[in-house]
Amino acid sequence: MLAVDVGNSNVTIGAFEGDRLIATWRFATDARRTADEHNLLLQGMLQSKGVDPSDFPSAVMCSVVPPLTGAIETALQDMLGTEPMVVGRGTRTGIKVNYNRPQDVGTDRIADAVAAYRLYGGPCIVVDIGTATVFDAISGNAEYLGGAIAPGMTLAAEALYRGTSQLRRVDLQAPDNAIGRNTTDAMRSGLVFGYVGLVEGMVKRFANELSPDDPASCKVIGTGGLARVVAAQSGVLQDVNEDLTLIGLRMLHELNSGE
């Protein structure tokens, strides 16, 4: 089975044999690409690792980029000869979505929540550190309770560059000290250590709300492209699972197809 996560910055594909993830690919999100272009791109990427698209009889996808959803859905259908499952309203999740407007929750967040609860149990907190830094809370009774959304490190770095006259672009690498002795290290400190502090502070607040009597019982799982940057500077993330969304998509496909 193929799982496809259409994100704001990247499209990530995972190939599964049963419940085992055997390969992943990633390419930049570009809403200008047509279904035909995505078809060629997907086939080329799979074949680059010796994976034959015809070996996969089904696919599941989630998307937070509505202009791309239809194009990638069509590309998958043309490539595989079968209509992919698109996570959305009506998808069975195995968890209760306790949100004011359940349809407003990003389907990638639901996939993360499903995978986190089934892999780690609850109560748990998922911290997805990518284009945005997203926190999600799942109770011990399999309830998705909501979360918080903050700008991601890359967005913050770009805002510093574009919104000022003298600050340059920097890579997201932790400096040796929090007190930067040059502008580059000062920016790196604010971005990396600042976001570590954000994650630590939000996780503490979430844990106190999720489990007031025993906040330490909350599992904290990091995912997203920059999760390991935070994990390298803090023990707040008990585990980092960069494939959490893909695994959640596989679980949702399994739940909805009866496999």
The average pLDDT across 10-36 equals 93
Question: CA 181 to CA 183: how far, in whole Å?
Answer: 7
Catalytic residue among 55, 104, 108, 213: 108
Structure tokens belonging to residue 250: 């596989």
pLDDT of residue 89: 86
**Intrachain domains 2-86 and 96-247 with the same fold:** yes
- Residue 108 annotated in active site: yes
For the chain, the structural domain boundaries read 2-86, 96-247
Statement: residue 27 has pLDDT above 80:
yes
Q: Give the chain's radius of gyration (CA, Å).
A: 19
Task: Determine the average pLDDT of the residues in 100-105.
Answer: 90
Return the pLDDT at 105.
93
pLDDT band for position 102 (cuts 50, 70, 90): confident
Is residue 131 predicted with pLDDT exceeding 80? Answer: yes
Task: Please return the burial class of 254, using the count of CB atoms within 10 Å of its CB with bins 0-12, 13-18 and 19+.
Answer: middle
Question: pLDDT value at position 5?
Answer: 96
If 0-12 CB within 10 Å is exposed, 13-18 middle and 19+ buried, where does residue 15 land?
Answer: buried
Domain 2-86 has CATH 3.40.640.10: no
Residues 209, 232: Cα–Cα separation, whole Å: 26
Helix, strand and coil in the chain, % to nearest 5: 40, 25, 35
Q: What percent of the chain has pLDDT over 90?
A: 85
Over residues 37-51, the pLDDT tens digits come to 999 999 999 888 888
C-alpha pair distances (Å), 138 with each of 7, 117, 119 = 22, 7, 12
Parallel, antiparallel or unpaired: strands 10-17 and 20-28: antiparallel
Q: What is the pLDDT of residues 176-218, one digit of tens each?
A: 999 999 999 999 999 999 999 999 999 999 999 999 999 999 9
Q: What is the mean pLDDT of residues 207-234?
A: 96
Model confidence at 226: pLDDT above 70:
yes
Cβ atoms of 66 and 227 within 8 Å: the answer is no
pTM for this prediction: 0.92
Question: What is the pLDDT, as a whole number, of residue 220?
Answer: 98
Could you tell me the pLDDT band of residue 258, with boundaries at 50, 70 and 90? low
Least confident of 43-52, 83-92, 127-136, 187-196: 43-52
So what's the pLDDT on residue 259?
Answer: 58
CATH number of 96-247: 3.30.420.40
Q: In one letter, which amino acid is 35?
A: A
Say whether pLDDT at 19 is over 70. yes
